[in-house]
Amino acid sequence: MNTKQMTQTLRRQAGYTIDQTILIVAVIAILVTMIVGSVGWDLLTRAGSTKLQSHLVQFENAAGSFFSQYNMWPHQTSETPGDGTVNFRTLIDETALVDAMEGGGEFRNYLPAYNVDGGVVNHPFGAGTGTVELVTDVDGGQTYIVFEMTLVPAEEFNRADNGVDGREDWENGRLRSDVAPVAGNTVTLRYFANVIN
């Protein structure tokens, strides 16, 4: 056997058969799909919690801007002060204000991304059917404006809680929920925003 024949024989034996090549490509494709899928899902949930944090900050800023304009907090100008839904609507809908404040020409929508639908304001998190309310609550001797959002996915709450309070603790801090947030469930989020006393 000469050198040329020996080199050709070695080349033929060193390569993969078509079956082996297909198997290798399939395994690589499965691994890539798993990696992209897990990284992509993590990025999506992280983006959702960042969006949630952004909305909470917008709520707080809207209440502060409202106070700057009217020298009263939104719940103090509501046509029904004990109703959290109407209290929140004062930030986006002039008809939610007491009659004496309506039609003054100065009203502005502080949260243009939100709309009133059937008397309530829905938020875009989870299925998009959860509502937003504005109430007041006392904690540690301070009175706060508290924004409540129903039907928030627990995973988004946990990530936002970690971002707002620096740790996941559903019972303490500025961001709280009504029940322990368990993956796959929803919670009612309570964001302690502006101190009003």
**Confidence band of 9 (pLDDT split at 50, 70, 90):** low
Domain boundaries, the chain: 52-195
Note whether 84 and 134 are within 8 A (CB): yes
Q: Each residue of 88-126: pLDDT tens digit?
A: 999 999 888 887 776 566 788 999 989 888 889 999 988
Q: What is the DSSP letter of 96?
A: G
175 pLDDT more than 90: yes
**pLDDT recorded at residue 1:** 63
Quote the strand ranges of 62-170, DSSP E: 116-117, 120-121, 132-139, 142-153
What's at 106, amino acid-wise?
Answer: E
Q: What is the DSSP letter of 57?
A: H
56 pLDDT more than 90: yes
Question: Nearest Cα to 189, choosing from 134, 149, 144, 129?
Answer: 149
Q: Each residue of 63-82: pLDDT tens digit?
A: 999 999 888 999 998 888 88
Quote the strand ranges of 43-185, DSSP E: 116-117, 120-121, 132-139, 142-153, 175-177
**pLDDT recorded at residue 50:** 78
CATH number for the domain whose boundaries are 52-195 = 3.30.1690
